[in-house]
Amino acid sequence: MPTAHNSSSLKTILIQSLLTILYAVLAFLCCILLLYISFNIWYAGRIFPGVFFNGISLGGYTQQEAQQIIQTQVLPALSQTITFRYKDQTWQTNLLEMGIHFDAEQIAAMAFATGRSGNLSAWSGDAVAVLSENKTIPATIQIDESMTAQILNRIAAEFDQPKIEAQLTFEGNNVITTPGQIGVKLDIEQTLASIQEAISKQDYNSVFLVVSESHPDIVDAEPYAQSIREFLTSDFSLVIPAENNHVQYLHDLSSSTFAPMLQLVKSNIDGQITIGLQFQESMLRSLLSDLAQTVNIKTENPRFIFNDNTKQIDLLESGIYGRTLNINASIAAIQQSLANGAHVASLVFDYEAPAVADGATGTELGITELVQQQSTYFYGSSAARIQNIQTATNHFLGLLVAPGEVFSMAEAMGEISLDTGFTEALIIYNGKTIEGVGGGVCQVSTTLFRTAFFAGYPILERYPHAYRVSFYEKTAGNQRDINLAGLDATVYVPLVDLKFQNDTPYWLLMEAYVYPESSQIVWKFYSTNDGRQVKWQTTGPVNIVAPPEPKYYLNTSLKEGEIKQVDWEAEGADVRVDRWVYKDDTLFFQDQFHTHYEPWGAVYEIGLGVDGYPISEE
- What's the confidence (pLDDT) of residue 253? 93
Identify the CA nearest to 370 among candidates 309, 319, 318, 412. Answer: 309
Q: Cβ(392)–Cβ(440) under 8 Å?
A: yes
pLDDT score recorded for residue 2: 53
Reported confidence tier of residue 4, pLDDT bands at 50, 70, 90? low
- Using alpha carbons, list the distances in angstroms from residue 521 to 374, 438, 464, 495: 8, 16, 19, 24
Q: What is the pLDDT of residue 118?
A: 65
Please compute the mean of the pLDDT values over residues 16-34 and round it to a whole number.
78
**Gap between the terminal Cα atoms of the chain:** 160
Please return the burial class of 181, using the count of CB atoms within 10 Å of its CB with bins 0-12, 13-18 and 19+. Answer: middle
66-113 residue pLDDT tens: 888 878 887 776 777 888 888 888 888 888 787 877 788 888 888 888
The Cα–Cα gap between 496 and 616 comes to: 31
Question: What is the DSSP code (8-state) at residue 496?
Answer: B
From residue 361, how far is each of 371, 385, 530 by CA, in Å? 18, 37, 19
Please determine, for residue 185, whether its predicted confidence score (pLDDT) is greater than 70: yes
Exposed/middle/buried for 527, CB within 10 Å: 0-12, 13-18, 19+?
buried
Tell whether the model's pLDDT for residue 183 goes beyond 70: yes
Per-residue pLDDT tens over the stretch 478-533: 999 999 999 999 998 888 999 999 999 999 999 999 999 999 999 999 999 999 99
Q: Where are the alpha helices (DSSP H) in 340-382?
A: 362-365
More confident residue, 539 or 256: 539
Q: How far apart are CA 445 and CA 441, in angstroms?
A: 6
Please give the average per-residue pLDDT across 211-233, as a whole number. 83
Residue 190's identity, in one-letter code, is: Q
CA 49, CA 452: separation in Å to the nearest integer? 123
pLDDT of residue 16: 82
- Characterize the bridge pairing of strands 303-307 and 272-279: unpaired
Cβ pair 425, 384 in contact under 8 A: yes
Residue-level pLDDT at 272: 74
Q: Give the range among 46-55, 127-136, 397-406, 543-552 with minimum mean pLDDT.
A: 127-136
pLDDT given for residue 236 in this prediction: 94
Average pLDDT over residues 131-147: 76
What is the distance between the alpha carbons of residues 180 and 227, in angstroms, rounded to a whole number? 18
When computed from its CA atoms, the radius of gyration of the chain, rounded to whole angstroms, is 53
Per-residue pLDDT, 434: 65
Question: Which residues, listed in sequence order, are joined to residue 350 by a DSSP beta bridge?
Answer: 324
Q: Rounded CA gap, 340 and 233, in Å?
A: 16
- Find out whether 134 and 93 touch, Cβ atoms under 8 Å: no
| Closest by Cα among 119, 126, 110 to 50 | 126
- All domains in the chain, ordered by first residue: 234-352 (3.10.20), 366-606 (no CATH)
Pairing relationship of beta strands 572-583 and 542-545 according to DSSP bridges = antiparallel
List C-alpha distances in Å: 311 to 307, 362, 392, 414, 506: 5, 8, 27, 31, 16
Going from the C-alpha of 358 to that of each of 308, 317, 449, the distances in angstroms are 19, 8, 28
Which range, of 271-285, 311-325, 543-557, averages the lowest pLDDT? 271-285
C-alpha 52/C-alpha 50 separation (Å) is 6
With bands split at pLDDT 50, 70 and 90, how would you rate the model's confidence at 124?
low
Rounded Cα distance between 401 and 513, Å, is: 18
Average pLDDT over residues 136-163: 84
Determine how many CB atoms are found less than 10 A away from the CB of residue 430. 6
d(CA 435, CA 421) in angstroms, rounded, equals 16
| Per-residue model confidence (pLDDT) at position 5 | 60
Residue 616: pLDDT band (50, 70, 90) is: confident
- If you average pLDDT over residues 430-437, what whole number do you get? 65
Helical spans, DSSP H, in 407-484: 409-413, 441-455
312-317 vs 303-307, strand pairing mode: antiparallel
Average pLDDT, the chain: 88
pLDDT for 18: 80
> Which of 253, 331, 333, 323 shows the shortest CA–CA distance to 295?
323
The three-class DSSP label of residue 114 is coil
The whole-number pLDDT of residue 275 equals 73
- DSSP one-letter code for 380: T
Among candidate residues 42, 152, 49, the one with its CA nearest the CA of residue 97: 152
Is residue 130 within 8 A of residue 49, CB to CB? The reply is yes
Write the burial class of residue 504 (CB in 10 Å: 0-12 exposed, 13-18 middle, 19+ buried): buried
Q: 10 Å Cβ neighbour count for 169? A: 11
User: Do the beta carbons of residue 424 and residue 436 sit within 8 Å?
Assistant: yes
Label residues 208-228 b or e (16+ Cβ within 10 Å = b): ebbbeeeebebeebeebbeeb
Taking only the tens place, the pLDDT of each residue in 439-473 is 889 999 999 999 999 999 999 999 999 999 999 99
Are 82 and 96 in contact by the 8 Å Cβ rule? The answer is no
Task: List pLDDT tens digits, range 567-608.
Answer: 888 999 999 999 999 999 999 999 999 999 999 888 888 998
Are the CB atoms for 276 and 339 separated by under 8 Å?
yes
Is-contact 107 54, C-beta < 8 A? no
Residue 214, CA atoms < 13 Å, CB-side half-sphere: 10
The residue type found at 30 is C
Q: How far is CA 195 from CA 103, 156, 187, 386, 585, in A?
A: 16, 15, 12, 97, 107
Cα distances (Å, whole numbers) of residue 220 to 180, 183, 260, 341, 456: 6, 15, 20, 21, 77
Q: Has this prediction a pTM greater than 0.75?
A: no
